[in-house]
Amino acid sequence: MISEFPLFVFTTLAGLSAGAYVANAAFSVSGCGGMHGASAGEAGGFGGSDGAAEAARTGEGGASAVRPWLLPLTCLALLAVGLVFLPLHLGHPERMLIALTQPGAMIAQEAYWSAALGVVLLVDLVLAKAKGPAPCALRIVGAVAALGLMFVMANAYFVSAGIPAWASWQTFPLYFFGNLAMGAALVAVFENGLMGKGGFFVALVALAALALVAFALEAVHFAGVGADMALFVIAAALAAVAIVLVYLTKQGKLVLRAGAWATFACLLAAVACARYCFYAACVL
C-alpha cells in the first residue's frame, strides 16, 4: 500500500463530494427554494416544493427531486468519511488541532475549506429535509467552498518542491477536472433524467474530456521526471469509456439509470487510478 493512502482516500472522497456539489449548484438538480425556485424550474430543474410534487407525480425527476435531502446527505457523508482518513497520515493525530492555528499551512487550509463546505452541506440537508430544496444562494456559497477546497487540495501538492512529480501546474487540472467530472456523474446518478438533457450532456462530456486531457498531461509530466505513470494511462482510457457511455445514454442505447451508474463508476475508477498513481510518486 502507498504511504499516502489516507490522503488518497481523503482527496478522492472529499473531491467527489465537492465536485458533486458544484455540479448540483450549476444544474440546480432538484430546483432551488426561495425566490429563485421558478427560474430554476425553467432552467430544467424542478422548482421548489411544487416541482418536487410534479416530479413525484410524473416519476421523471429521479431521487433528488423527490428527496432533495439525499444529495447533500451523500455529499456530507463522503466529506465526513474523507475527513476521518485525513489525520491518519499524521505521526501525531492527537496534535492535529494545533494545526488549525496556522492559517498559512496547507493542512489547515484544507480543514478550513472542508469545514466551510461541511457547514453548507449540513444547512442544505436540514433545509431540504424541512422545507424542500435549499435556496440557490446557499448552493452558490457551497459551490464556492467546494471550489476553494479543490484549489487548496491541489495547491498543497503544487508547493511540494521536494517531490518533482507533484510540484507542477499539471496538478491543478488533475484535481479540478477529476473532481468535477466524477461529481457531475454522481449528480446524474441522483437525477437520471439529466443524462438525456442537452446542457448536462455537453457539460458532462466536456468535463470527462478535460479530465482525460488532465490525466494525459500528468502522465507526460510523470514520465518526464522518471515517475511511474501507467495508472494515468488507464485513468485516461476509463475517462474515454465514460464519454462513450454518456453518448450512448444520450442516444437512448442505454437505459438512463444504467447509463448514469456506469458513467459514474467509470469516472470514479478513473480518478481513483489517477490519484493512486499520483500519491505513489511520494516516497519519503
Partner 1 sequence: MTRYGMAIDLNRCFGCQACAAACKVANNLPKDLNYNVVYTKQDEGFDDFGMAVAKGSISNDCAGGTRENPVLWFLPVQCQHCENPSCVSVCPTGATYKREDGIVTVDDSRCIGCRSCIMACPYEGVRTMIESEPEYYLDVVVGEADAPKHVAGTVEKCTFCHNLIERGEVPACMQLCPGRARYWGDLDDPESEVSRAIEGREYVKLREDAGTNPNVFYLQ
Residues lying near partner 1 in the complex (CB under 8 A) are found at 89-93, 95-96, 98-99, 101-102, 104-108, 156-157, 159-163, 166, 282, 284
Rounded-to-integer distance, Cα 7 and Cα 136, Å: 31
Nearby residues of 241 by Cβ (< 8 Å), 6 or more positions away: 266
To partner 1, the closest distance from the beta carbon of 161 in angstroms equals 4
How much is the CA Rg of the chain, to the nearest whole Å?
Answer: 19
Structure letter (DSSP) for residue 194: G
Quote the least distance from Cβ 170 to partner 1, whole Å. 17
**Are 243 and 184 in contact, with CB atoms under 8 Å apart?**
no
Tell me how far, at minimum, the Cβ of 13 lies from partner 1, in Å. 19
Residue whose CB is less far from partner 1, 69 or 175: 175
Exposure of 1 by Cβ count < 10 A (0-12 exposed, 13-18 middle, 19+ buried)? Answer: exposed
Q: Which is nearer to partner 1, 89 or 197 (CB)?
A: 89
Helix or strand or coil: residue 33?
Answer: strand
CB of 98 to partner 1, least distance (A): 4
Report d(CA 189, CA 199) in Å as an integer. 16
For the beta carbon of residue 81, count every other beta carbon within 10 angstroms: 14
Provide the minimum distance between the beta carbon of 93 and partner 1 in the complex, in angstroms, as a whole number.
7
| Positions of E strands within the chain | none
The nearer residue to partner 1, 88 or 126, going by C-beta atoms, is 88
CA 112 to chain centre: 18
CB of 104 to partner 1, least distance (A): 6
**Between 190 and 279, CB nearer to partner 1:** 279
Please, which residue, 163 or 216, has the CB nearer to partner 1?
163
Please say which residue, 99 or 123, places its beta carbon nearer to partner 1.
Answer: 99
